[in-house]
């Protein structure tokens, strides 16, 4: 493989991962700017090397928010992304391109704000809201109608002269005030606050319980209408009409007839955006005439008649006072910069994350430095630069600590990793408490009634030293704790009792083995079926499981190799937790595909790719990520990756269709 091909593959993989974190988990780990730069780089490379083109590349597809918990609906009109740029020059290029493609014609550009939330398509029949669907993968989206109906600014019934059938698209978002209130409540309840209003809005829209969605102060601006019988052939007029039927159409729209008007609009809002009661991340330009829009058409991913100009994250300039070190649940030590308060993008910033010692070294940080901070996708902003000229001669270099600030153990660094760890997993207080917090969390054992404060008290009073101790708690013991009444104590005990029914996969996740998240835990549970088999598994057996690489495998082996973990599992087993698949879980399993391995590529009509993969596992087969001589079958869907196809042909791997596959498991 050439270096170029390697870089392309790596970028594709990285971008796929970030899309998933952003759209499905609502937990981005890099800033939009960094994401967009990677996307830009990949687009350039693919342009220069058309031989590596792939219709599945993230440059060719809309980042997908599809979620298994919802029913999927095909869009009548594909729901695409927008081309974006951070450069004013490219906005001028866009304007010139449109002018060139519409020779001797006048055209108007509608400038709008780019609301930072999550896209929604609403279908109305005879004046009634019948469906609300997310963008999904652009072709089909998640049906979130029940949740959409709880948003007050979305009309359920229209008034006036609306067409019999049409779709209107817009952005569901959370205004600042609602966001602040929501996070306040979450923090009080001991839940993790949302990183930003966008994540909060898209997370809220994907909740399973509409009654809870109704409590989130979501709002919705509509920005585009589609249908066979629209009131006007101009985009802006359609929005004005929609407003008269009862839709919330934002007032920040301007018709522009010159590039100067467009630029003025951009400059105005680059300043003014800080006074808005909600987040925007840029400006959208759209050609006003629908006829011209049709003639300009679309690329695979976005319309040629629109573009977005994105604002760069705002930078703050302030003084670094101190660096403190926090120890997390896995023992990872995170350095945190304590700053002079600085106002940045709507909030006062006092702390910034420094991630690890490499970052401190690459910034060459000194105490008292004047630094530049920026907010990315995360709550905690980061230091992006240092003003070296402002440094005093006697300023001391920031040194990473050698010993754990909580227990004094000497820190270690695992080869190939950036983080420092405190190795004292067994008794380092934040690690012990952190593991209990993780264990009881909703997605893990889901034990009600215990919060961070209770864990603190239990630990301080020597009632728990590990998660298994939770199951030995007595009501009388609990009631000796501060502010713990009989009812709350009983509540905790009931929660613990109920957790004994939690399935094996979640128990595995709850153990908090490094790198074993929810998905990995599910894969391990269904591959090994019980804890004994998993504890005996070798590196090789582990990495044979789909999506389990060496890093995860070593972590699992390391975990079960520790004597105190073996004792812990033993205690938890005796307490009655589920350490094997239930009969019901095994009953849905067959061994029809025993000993066979599959690579799945492309898209399918009867199921999503994930569903297909899970069917393979349930029937005893194995999923592989790439085609190799070990692959038994390549299940080929629509738009299959050409490189996978070519490789399968070369190696003589059997290529089967969706229907062939179905008949194998019948």
Q: How far is the CB of 410 from Zn ion (least distance, A)?
A: 10
Using CB under 6 A as the binding rule, whether residue 57 contacts ligand NAD is answered as no
What 8-state DSSP symbol labels residue 237?
H
H-assigned helices in 49-131: 88-101
What 8-state DSSP symbol labels residue 409?
P
**Beta carbon nearer to Zn ion, 422 or 507:** 422
Using CB under 6 A as the binding rule, whether residue 84 contacts ligand NAD is answered as yes
Q: Burial, 354: exposed, middle or buried (Cβ in 10 Å; 0-12, 13-18, 19+)?
A: buried
Using CB under 5 A as the binding rule, whether residue 428 contacts Zn ion is answered as yes
- Return the one option of ligand NAD, Zn ion, none that residue 75 interacts with (CB less than 5 to 8 A, by type): none
Selected from 404, 425, 484, 569, the binder of Zn ion by CB under 5 A is 404
Cβ-proximal residues to 454 (8 Å cutoff; 6+ apart), any chain? 481, 484, 492
Residue 216 counted as an annotated binding residue? no
Q: How far is the CB of 434 from Zn ion (least distance, A)?
A: 11
Q: How far is the CB of 376 from ligand NAD (least distance, A)?
A: 7
Rounded Cα distance between 347 and 350, Å, is: 10
Contacts of ligand NAD in 301-360 (CB under 6 A):
308
Using CB under 5 A as the binding rule, whether residue 422 contacts Zn ion is answered as yes
Tokens of 381: 């902003």
Query: Tokens 């939330």 — which residue?
Result: 117
Selected from 38, 61, 135, 433, the binder of ligand NAD by CB under 6 A is 135
Query: Could you give the dihedral angle defined by the CA atoms of residues 603, 200, 176 and 317, in that order, rounded to the nearest 10 degrees?
Result: -90
Q: Which stretch binds Zn ion (CB under 5 A): 164-172, 403-411, 412-420, 491-499?
A: 403-411
The answer to whether 574 is a known catalytic residue is: no
Using CB under 6 A as the binding rule, whether residue 82 contacts ligand NAD is answered as yes
Tell me the three state secondary structure of residue 165.
Answer: strand
**Beta carbon nearer to ligand NAD, 33 or 459:** 33
Contacts of ligand NAD in 368-407 (CB under 6 A):
377
Q: What is the DSSP code string of 590-625?
A: --TTTT-EEEEESB-SSS-HHHHHHHHHHTT-EE-S
Q: Which stretch binds ligand NAD (CB under 6 A): 76-84, 146-154, 414-422, 542-550?
A: 76-84
Residue 112 counted as an annotated binding residue? yes
Residue 286 counted as an annotated binding residue? yes
- Return the one option of Zn ion, ligand NAD, none that residue 320 interacts with (CB less than 5 to 8 A, by type): none
Tokens of 124: 């109305």
Tokens of 223: 């920005």
CB 219 within 8 A of CB 151: yes
Contacts of ligand NAD in 215-234 (CB under 6 A):
223
Cβ-proximal residues to 261 (8 Å cutoff; 6+ apart), any chain? 109, 111, 254
**Beta carbon nearer to ligand NAD, 77 or 343:** 77
Q: What is the CA radius of gyration of the chain?
A: 27
Selected from 27, 264, 406, 456, the binder of Zn ion by CB under 5 A is 406
Rounded Cα distance between 397 and 368, Å, is: 10
- Return the one option of Zn ion, ligand NAD, none that residue 356 interacts with (CB less than 5 to 8 A, by type): none
Backbone angles phi, psi at 113, to 5 degrees: -85, 155
Tokens of 55: 């219709």
- Return the one option of ligand NAD, Zn ion, none that residue 219 interacts with (CB less than 5 to 8 A, by type): none
- Return the one option of Zn ion, ligand NAD, none that residue 98 interacts with (CB less than 5 to 8 A, by type): none
38-53 b/e (C-beta count within 10 Å ≥ 16 → b): bbeebeebbeeeeebe
C-alpha triplet 516, 637, 633: angle, nearest 5°: 70
Selected from 19, 147, 424, 603, the binder of Zn ion by CB under 5 A is 424
Q: Which stretch binds Zn ion (CB under 5 A): 41-49, 270-278, 423-431, 594-602?
A: 423-431
Residue 111 counted as an annotated binding residue? no
Strand ranges inside 425-466, DSSP E? none
Q: Which stretch binds ligand NAD (CB under 6 A): 81-89, 239-247, 356-364, 414-422?
A: 81-89
Residue 220 counted as an annotated binding residue? no
Q: How far is the CB of 18 from ligand NAD (least distance, A)?
A: 4
Residue 107 counted as an annotated binding residue? no
Q: How far is the CB of 327 from Zn ion (least distance, A)?
A: 6
Using CB under 6 A as the binding rule, whether residue 155 contacts ligand NAD is answered as no
- Return the one option of Zn ion, ligand NAD, none that residue 18 interacts with (CB less than 5 to 8 A, by type): ligand NAD
Rounded Cα distance between 190 and 210, Å, is: 22
Contacts of ligand NAD in 15-54 (CB under 6 A):
18-19, 21-22, 28, 30-32, 35-36
Backbone angles phi, psi at 530, to 5 degrees: -150, 165
**Beta carbon nearer to ligand NAD, 81 or 409:** 81
CB 558 within 8 A of CB 540: no
- Return the one option of Zn ion, ligand NAD, none that residue 308 interacts with (CB less than 5 to 8 A, by type): ligand NAD
Q: Are β-strands 140-142 and 109-115 bridged in parallel, bridged antiparallel, or unpaired? A: unpaired
Query: Tokens 């692959």 — which residue?
Result: 631
CB 123 within 8 A of CB 130: yes
Residue 35 counted as an annotated binding residue? yes
- Of the candidates 38, 114, 382, 613, the residue annotated as catalytic is 114
What 8-state DSSP symbol labels residue 194?
P
Q: Is the Cα dihedral 559, 561, 567, 569 positive or negative?
A: positive
Using CB under 6 A as the binding rule, whether residue 112 contacts ligand NAD is answered as yes
Q: Is the Cα dihedral 384, 386, 387, 389 positive or negative?
A: negative
Rounded Cα distance between 328 and 336, Å, is: 12
Tell me the three state secondary structure of residue 208.
Answer: coil
Rounded Cα distance between 224 and 270, Å, is: 23
**Beta carbon nearer to ligand NAD, 84 or 580:** 84
* Long-range pairs of 406-413 with CB within 8 A, sequence gap ≥ 24: 406/327, 406/430, 411/333
Contacts of ligand NAD in 602-641 (CB under 6 A):
none
Selected from 320, 407, 478, 624, the binder of Zn ion by CB under 5 A is 407
Q: Which stretch binds ligand NAD (CB under 6 A): 79-87, 406-414, 518-526, 555-563?
A: 79-87
Residue 173 counted as an annotated binding residue? no
- Return the one option of ligand NAD, Zn ion, none that residue 469 interacts with (CB less than 5 to 8 A, by type): none
H-assigned helices in 193-289: 197-205, 210-215, 235-245, 259-272
Using CB under 5 A as the binding rule, whether residue 222 contacts Zn ion is answered as no
Residue 90 counted as an annotated binding residue? no
CB 631 within 8 A of CB 648: yes
Selected from 46, 63, 279, 353, the binder of ligand NAD by CB under 6 A is 63
The set of catalytic residues is 114
Q: Which residues are annotated as a binding site?
A: 32-36, 81-82, 112, 135, 171, 286, 310, 404, 407, 422, 428
Q: Which residues are annotated as a binding site for Zn(2+)?
A: 404, 407, 422, 428
Residues of the shown chain interacting with Zn ion in the complex, contacts defined by CB under 5 A = 404, 406-407, 409, 422, 424, 428
Residues of the shown chain interacting with ligand NAD in the complex, contacts defined by CB under 6 A = 18-19, 21-22, 28, 30-32, 35-36, 62-63, 81-82, 84, 112, 114-115, 119, 135, 171, 223, 284, 308, 377
Q: Which residues are annotated as a binding site for NAD(+)?
A: 32-36, 81-82, 112, 135, 171, 286, 310
């Amino acid at each position: 493989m050439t270096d170029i091909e390697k870089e392309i593959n790596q970028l594709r993989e990285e971008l796929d991962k970030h899309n998933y974190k952003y759209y499905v988990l609502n937990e981005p780990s890099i800033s939009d700017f960094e994401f967009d730069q990677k996307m830009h780089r990949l687009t350039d490379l693919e342009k220069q090397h058309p031989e590596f083109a792939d219709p599945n590349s993230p440059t060719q597809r809309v980042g997908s928010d599809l979620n298994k918990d919802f029913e999927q609906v095909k869009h009548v009109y594909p729901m695409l992304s927008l081309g974006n740029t951070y450069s004013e020059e490219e906005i001028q290029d866009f304007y010139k391109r449109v002018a060139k493609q519409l020779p001797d014609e006048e055209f108007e550009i509608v400038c709008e704000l780019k609301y930072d939330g999550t896209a929604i398509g609403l279908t109305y029949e005879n004046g009634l809201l019948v469906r609300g669907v997310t963008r999904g993968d652009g072709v089909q989206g998640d049906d979130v109608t029940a949740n959409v109906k709880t948003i007050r600014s979305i009309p359920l019934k229209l008034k006036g002269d609306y067409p019999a059938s049409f779709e209107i698209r817009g952005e569901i978002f959370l205004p600042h005030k609602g966001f602040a209130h929501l996070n306040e409540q979450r923090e009080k309840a001991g839940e993790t606050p949302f990183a930003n209003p966008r994540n909060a809005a898209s997370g809220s829209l994907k909740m399973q319980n509409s009654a809870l969605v109704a409590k989130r102060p979501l709002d919705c601006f509509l920005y585009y209408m589609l249908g066979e019988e629209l009131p006007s052939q101009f985009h802006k007029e359609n929005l004005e009409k929609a407003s008269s039927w009862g839709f919330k159409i934002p007032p920040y729209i301007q018709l522009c007839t010159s590039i100067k008007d467009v630029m003025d609009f951009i400059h105005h809002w680059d300043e003014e955006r800080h006074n808005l009661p909600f987040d925007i991340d840029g400006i959208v330009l759209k050609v006003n005439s629908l006829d011209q829009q049709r003639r300009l058409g679309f690329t695979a991913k976005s319309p040629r008649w629109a573009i977005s100009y994105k604002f760069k994250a705002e930078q703050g300039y302030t003084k670094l006072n101190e660096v403190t070190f926090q120890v997390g649940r896995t023992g990872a030590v995170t350095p945190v910069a304590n700053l002079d308060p600085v106002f940045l993008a709507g909030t006062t910033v006092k702390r910034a994350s420094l991630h690890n010692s490499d970052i401190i070294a690459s910034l060459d940080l000194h105490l008292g430095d004047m630094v530049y901070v920026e907010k990315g996708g995360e709550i905690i902003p980061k230091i992006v630069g240092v003003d070296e000229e402002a440094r005093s001669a006697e300023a001391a270099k920031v040194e990473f600590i050698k010993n754990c600030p909580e227990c004094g153990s000497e820190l270690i660094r695992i080869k190939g990793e950036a983080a420092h760890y405190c190795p004292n997993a067994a008794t380092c207080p934040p690690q012990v408490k952190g593991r209990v917090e993780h264990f009881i969390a909703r997605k893990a054992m889901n034990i009600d009634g215990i919060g961070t404060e209770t864990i603190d008290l239990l630990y301080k009073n020597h009632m728990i030293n590990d998660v298994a101790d939770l199951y030995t708690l007595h009501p009388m013991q609990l009631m000796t704790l501060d502010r713990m009444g009989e009812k709350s104590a009983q509540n905790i005990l009931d929660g613990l009792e109920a957790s004994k029914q939690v399935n094996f996969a979640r128990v595995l996740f709850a153990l908090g083995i490094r790198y074993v998240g929810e998905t990995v835990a599910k894969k391990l549970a269904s591959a090994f079926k019980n804890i004994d088999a998993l504890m005996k598994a070798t590196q090789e057996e582990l990495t044979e499981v789909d999506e389990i690489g060496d890093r995860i495998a070593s972590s699992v082996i390391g975990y079960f190799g520790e004597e105190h973990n073996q004792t812990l599992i033993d205690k938890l087993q005796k307490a009655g937790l589920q350490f094997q698949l239930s009969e019901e879980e095994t009953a849905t399993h067959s061994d029809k595909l025993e000993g066979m391995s599959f690579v799945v590529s492309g898209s399918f009509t009867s199921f999503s790719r994930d569903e297909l993969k899970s069917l393979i596992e349930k029937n005893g087969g194995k999923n592989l990520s790439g085609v190799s001589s070990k692959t038994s079958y390549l299940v080929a869907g629509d738009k299959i990756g050409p490189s996978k196809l070519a490789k399968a042909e070369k190696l003589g791997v059997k290529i089967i269709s969706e229907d062939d596959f179905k008949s194998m498991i019948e």
